[in-house]
Structure 1
């Protein structure tokens, strides 16, 4: 299996498990969450970790989300923020969300 670059936004129950599995599989993983403590809870250290507002296009670009092959959005508590995040990722050219 080809190693891909992944981005994961939102590290709740789903996002953190996906991040751990991808990291353990040797993939390059950029993770982002709004909460520093959530970032610290990941079992395997990611390639890059950011505390950011996922609706902010500049923050997403600065973190490198425009350079990954796949971004997984797992923001469960706020549907509006999930939709705005998806739109921001599309705006920066992410093809696989």
Structure 2
């Protein structure tokens, strides 16, 4: 897979490194000469250019990429880059970094963003996930599918402690993805009983999240 990353700062370089380890081709683009440091990620291609300029993306041959990631520290730049990549070059998948939570509503398909990644939201979700038991925590939103990745740590007083997965009446439009227990990852198994302290990960439609939470934590109040 070919991936273009606008923004060669710490975030962009970290993404590039992970993608390269996984066998993908990566181009890093940045308009600041100080950020062009090929020695830090030597396996990547590098381009000194402004990803908000159409001519720069033409020079990068953006049409040959499968994914464009707008990872700069400027939300306006990330929106413009995503829009150009999608509308002018037909990049199949775009990912936009949200730096300020007040701007998250802009990072939609209308601006050419297929997936937005909000650092503040992710950090908040991770904090909630670490301290919450019996409460549903939204970790990630799939923009195109209209569903969310959610997590709940099973409380000891949940009525389904000790119940096999296959006997639990999950809400519609909800799928159990995995069970995390004692540092191990267990794929869903209809005969496997869930236990107190298990972390359950689901893909769920937004409208069924509350029903899922009430199912596993019936003492929750509206």
- The normalised TM-score by structure 2 is 0.39
Q: Which has the higher strand share?
A: 2
CA distance in 1: counterparts of 2:39 and 2:71, whole angstroms: 15
TM-aligned CA distance change 1:84 to 1:42, over 3 Å: farther
Q: Per the alignment, in what secondary structure is the counterpart of residue 47 of structure 2?
A: strand
* Superposed CA RMSD: 1.7
Shift >6 Å, 4+ stretches: none
* Residue 42 (structure 1) shift: 5.7
Write out per-residue CA displacement over residues 28-67 of structure 1, whole angstroms, 9 at most, x where no aligned residue.
1111011222120662314421011111112102212211
Q: Per the alignment, in what secondary structure is the counterpart of residue 49 of structure 1?
A: strand
Matched, 1:24 2:21: yes
Q: Is the 8 A contact 1:10 1:32 kept in 2?
A: yes
CA distance in 1: counterparts of 2:59 and 2:37, whole angstroms: 21
CA distance in 1: counterparts of 2:44 and 2:10, whole angstroms: 19
Match of 1:40 in 2: 37
TM-aligned CA distance change 1:12 to 1:63, over 3 Å: same
Segments of 5+ residues of structure 1 without an aligned counterpart are none
Q: Select the structure of larger CA radius of gyration.
A: 2
Matched, 1:86 2:87: no
- Considering Cα pairs closer than 8 Å and 6+ residues apart, tell me whether 1 or 2 has the greater RCO: 1
Instruction: Work out which of the residue numbers 58, 65, 72 in structure 1 matches 2:62.
Output: 65
CA distance in 2: counterparts of 1:42 and 1:20, whole angstroms: 12
